[in-house]
Chain A
């Protein structure tokens, strides 16, 4: 290959990187505009909602909260109490003890006065078998609670058991260690009951970070900004993702993921598609893509809704090791889902879903770390070869950095003007400062975890969930 050919190839490569970065930035700008429009509309609409009637109504639809638990003995009793304190009238809680090796079941039996009951499970989705069986409380105060003890099969399998057991029209799948606000269910069920021109198949909520927040008796008392910079950075990252990204995709009816920590599903559709996929680590994204695909193939009008109110609070990793493990899993989950449903991508048969949502996720979520890593490697090679145009490099790095800071600050605006959770004096300044340092303290690790996720997906097939050590919210 002669020098001119190499030059042409390099030129193409440069334009490719430039085009990708430009398209990426442009997509963020467009999403910000759409999300601001959607947020304003949501806030306007919210001011008319009367949740009291839906609370007391006996004809409000039934919801089953399904919470899988694996070795959660430390906080399970308090966490279940929090789930039982929801204000919605027509709901029940199914805790699926997924073959825990600790004394979770014993603690639940003791705390809630449980006894084994005869219950016929309609096995619409194949799952691992029951272990000790199904338990209900002898105490009428806990009549909404059901505990299912089964052989270990993973989170997806436990959720599928919950889907089989539930007799409700809707199921709320949540992580047992999440703190659900008391009005969460009535807010989440609203889109299902409100939309008349299409069928709402699922609704997701915002996940907020509860580290350092004051929690008493399963209730959120006070919201605090944690001291740990990693956790602080994740707060900012979540605000960006949920208040800007997902809000915009919700307006476009293009949401491909509902966080596994808290989402409500139309049970009939969830079962019709075969429930959660037990062979993926990204079961939360996979089921949404499958449900959407199912509806598209049926030719029915549908929506995946999104509620931006801060309803579900969870513990974020406070160590880089756990954080990387979590993000590694998210990356593998995304790859698995997109690969499994690759038929959808760029396929006009799937309409907006196939032509916009899927390609966006593929190009700007799935491939982003790959582009970034290749770009960095190429940059290092240029440094070694002393071929770097430093004026170009510095100016573009600065532009990208400043843009990311502006984008974070816009997310802060969105938070302040809507839900205003971090009210304490001085927190605003800290969050702005965080916007400036987050690209250095969080982003490199997100990139590293994503690259590791890609490596593990292709070369380390045995890797499954990874270790997610939690300290427990009630200890905060």
Chain B
């Protein structure tokens, strides 16, 4: 009792600053105890949830496989299928179980094809899961919208396109990406029409995903890419250039020639690469004539083009760059000369005065 009194007296007589420090310390100490207990609770809850998820996943997998194998050729739901649908309908009322069912369904959809894949889609409609995905599109939270779009894409729900189209220029890149992927996954090259209305930049990350998606399909008949090559959005032009390269769009060479004088350097460089790929011999003379006006990166790209499209009459031009100060240009010039006139190349080993260049000439010789 005396001790408590002593503490109380000490506290009452202490300066305000010290009183304040003790208060904060007491709050922190309590906070530590509470945080430690909560941490234990969180860890246990995470473990429990993970066990539950594994348990339910196995259960739903079995049910869904049973559903798939209970179907008949009529395409209508059989009695056992109806029973499973009604069971699942009860489960999807809770968000946790709904998420699990969607993930199991999605995994199954990736593993099956044809009728079974259609059967999964029917299941998605019948259980009402589709309504939850549509509801998500109305959310104010960007991540919920993106999840909704992603889900509708995974299950191939093409009637959602009108509801999803307004998100093409959404301020959040994740929503935009999901929208663009939805369009291309469901409507292939036709889906690329979103590029006409795209006001924001198309990141390289999404460009790769779109191109990979397009290449997965059997139908590789590409639409006219010229409007996108002439787009005011530079990222769309760059994407169209990649399309031209991957799908060997020889018919757009004329448009590509125009792009050689585009305002954006990145576009000009990529155009030279694509022209090299498409055997754009027309570009060679034009670029040769303007070589000194090109940026260093464009000059390097041009030499790469020349490496592919070189002709004997290019020799005088190449000779002028054999001792260029840029390593890459010099290396390419030497390689090209070695290819078209080996005797002259051998002569360089005798005529070169500069030690560094001589070493380079010798090194290229043994390559």
The size of the chain B interface, using a CB distance under 8 A, is: 49
A196-B203, A417-B42, A428-B39 given; A399·B178 CB < 8 A: no
Complex contact A409–B39 (CB within 8 A):
yes
Chain A hits for B36, CB < 8 A = 409, 432
Task: Of the listed stretches B65-73, B84-92, B205-213, name the one at the interface; the rest are far from the partner chain.
Answer: B205-213
Check: A11 CB closer than 8 A to any chain B CB. Answer: no
Please give the distance in Å from B314's CB to the nearest CB on chain A: 22
Q: Mark A38-55, 1 if CB is under 8 A from B, else 0.
A: 000000110110100110
Check: A395 CB closer than 8 A to any chain B CB. Answer: yes
Q: Mark B242-265, 1 if CB is under 8 A from A, else 0.
A: 100010000000000000000000
Check: B22 CB closer than 8 A to any chain A CB. Answer: yes
Check: A221 CB closer than 8 A to any chain B CB. Answer: no
The CA-CA distance from A412 to B38 in the complex, in Å, is 11
Complex contact A120–B363 (CB within 8 A):
yes
A44-B143, A48-B174, A194-B173 given; A412·B21 CB < 8 A: no
The CA-CA distance from A255 to B173 in the complex, in Å, is 23
The CA-CA distance from A417 to B35 in the complex, in Å, is 13
Please give the distance in Å from B174's CB to the nearest CB on chain A: 5
Complex contact B212–A402 (CB within 8 A):
no
Complex contact A413–B35 (CB within 8 A):
yes
Complex contact B212–A57 (CB within 8 A):
yes
Check: A193 CB closer than 8 A to any chain B CB. Answer: yes
Q: Mark B39-75, 1 if CB is under 8 A from A, else 0.
A: 1101100110000000000000000000000000000
Chain B hits for A458, CB < 8 A = none
Return the contact of B203 from the options A45, A47, A53, A194 (Cβ within 8 A). Answer: A194
Return the contact of B367 from the options A120, A195, A396, A425 (Cβ within 8 A). Answer: A120
The CA-CA distance from A210 to B367 in the complex, in Å, is 43
Check: B32 CB closer than 8 A to any chain A CB. Answer: yes
Chain B hits for A113, CB < 8 A = none
Chain A hits for B178, CB < 8 A = 48
Check: A406 CB closer than 8 A to any chain B CB. Answer: yes
Please give the distance in Å from B304's CB to the nearest CB on chain A: 12
Complex contact B43–A416 (CB within 8 A):
yes
Q: Please, which residue of chain B has its CB at the minimum distance from the CB of A395?
A: B21
Check: A420 CB closer than 8 A to any chain B CB. Answer: yes
Please give the distance in Å from B183's CB to the nearest CB on chain A: 16
The CA-CA distance from A425 to B356 in the complex, in Å, is 64
Instruction: Name B318-338 residues within 8 Å CB distance of A.
Output: 327-328, 331
Please give the distance in Å from B136's CB to the nearest CB on chain A: 13
Chain A hits for B14, CB < 8 A = 391
Complex contact A395–B32 (CB within 8 A):
no
Chain B hits for A423, CB < 8 A = 47
Check: A17 CB closer than 8 A to any chain B CB. Answer: no
Q: Mark B201-243, 1 if CB is under 8 A from A, else 0.
A: 1111100110111000000000000000000000100000010
Complex contact A420–B143 (CB within 8 A):
no
Chain A hits for B201, CB < 8 A = 196-197
Complex contact A399–B35 (CB within 8 A):
no
A48-B178, A193-B204, A402-B25 given; A57·B367 CB < 8 A: no
Chain A hits for B331, CB < 8 A = 120, 122
The CA-CA distance from A193 to B205 in the complex, in Å, is 5
Check: A8 CB closer than 8 A to any chain B CB. Answer: no
Check: A7 CB closer than 8 A to any chain B CB. Answer: no
The CA-CA distance from A428 to B39 in the complex, in Å, is 7
Complex contact B211–A190 (CB within 8 A):
no
Please give the distance in Å from A127's CB to the nearest CB on chain B: 15
Complex contact A120–B364 (CB within 8 A):
yes
Complex contact B366–A409 (CB within 8 A):
no
Q: Mark B349-363, 1 if CB is under 8 A from A, else 0.
A: 000000000001001
The CA-CA distance from A118 to B366 in the complex, in Å, is 7
Chain B hits for A416, CB < 8 A = 39, 42-43, 46
The CA-CA distance from A425 to B43 in the complex, in Å, is 9
Q: Please, which residue of chain A has its CB at the minimum distance from the CB of B172?
A: A45
Complex contact B205–A118 (CB within 8 A):
no
Check: A124 CB closer than 8 A to any chain B CB. Answer: yes
Return the contact of A395 from the options B22, B328, B360 (Cβ within 8 A). Answer: B22
Complex contact A399–B29 (CB within 8 A):
no
The CA-CA distance from A432 to B200 in the complex, in Å, is 47
The CA-CA distance from A48 to B14 in the complex, in Å, is 56
Complex contact B40–A429 (CB within 8 A):
yes
Return the contact of A60 from the options B28, B208, B246 (Cβ within 8 A). Answer: B208
Complex contact B32–A405 (CB within 8 A):
yes
The CA-CA distance from A423 to B235 in the complex, in Å, is 44
Instruction: Name B108-123 residues within 8 Å CB distance of A.
Output: none
Chain A hits for B47, CB < 8 A = 423, 425
Complex contact B235–A196 (CB within 8 A):
yes
Check: B18 CB closer than 8 A to any chain A CB. Answer: yes
Check: A392 CB closer than 8 A to any chain B CB. Answer: yes
Check: A403 CB closer than 8 A to any chain B CB. Answer: yes
Chain B hits for A398, CB < 8 A = 21, 25
Instruction: Name A406-446 residues within 8 Å CB distance of B.
Output: 406, 409-410, 412-413, 416-417, 420, 423, 425, 428-429, 432
Chain B hits for A412, CB < 8 A = 39
Q: Please, which residue of chain A has its CB at the minimum distance from the CB of B17?
A: A392
Check: B80 CB closer than 8 A to any chain A CB. Answer: no
Chain B hits for A44, CB < 8 A = 143
The CA-CA distance from A402 to B31 in the complex, in Å, is 9
Chain B hits for A59, CB < 8 A = 208, 211, 242, 246
Check: A56 CB closer than 8 A to any chain B CB. Answer: yes
Please give the distance in Å from B227's CB to the nearest CB on chain A: 21
Complex contact B39–A406 (CB within 8 A):
no
The CA-CA distance from A56 to B209 in the complex, in Å, is 10
A403-B28, A409-B36, A432-B36 given; A47·B209 CB < 8 A: no
Chain A hits for B367, CB < 8 A = 118, 120
Complex contact B203–A193 (CB within 8 A):
yes
Complex contact A395–B18 (CB within 8 A):
yes
Chain B hits for A197, CB < 8 A = 201
Interface residues of B (CB under 8 A from A): 10, 14, 18, 21-22, 24-25, 28-29, 31-32, 35-36, 39-40, 42-43, 46-47, 143, 146-147, 150, 173-174, 177-178, 200-205, 208-209, 211-213, 235, 242, 246, 327-328, 331, 360, 363-364, 366-367
List the 9 closest pairs (A to B, CB-CB), nearest first. A196-B201, A402-B28, A53-B212, A193-B205, A193-B204, A122-B327, A395-B21, A194-B205, A428-B43
A-B contact pairs, 7 of them (CB 8 A): A48-B147, A120-B331, A122-B328, A122-B331, A194-B205, A197-B201, A395-B25
Interface residues of A (CB under 8 A from B): 44-45, 47-48, 50, 53-54, 56-57, 59-61, 118, 120, 122, 124, 190, 192-197, 391-392, 395-396, 398-399, 402-403, 405-406, 409-410, 412-413, 416-417, 420, 423, 425, 428-429, 432
Given A48-B174, A197-B201, 18 other A-B contacts at CB below 8 A?
A: A48-B178, A53-B208, A53-B213, A57-B211, A60-B208, A118-B366, A122-B328, A193-B205, A391-B10, A395-B21, A395-B22, A399-B25, A399-B28, A402-B29, A402-B32, A409-B39, A410-B35, A429-B40
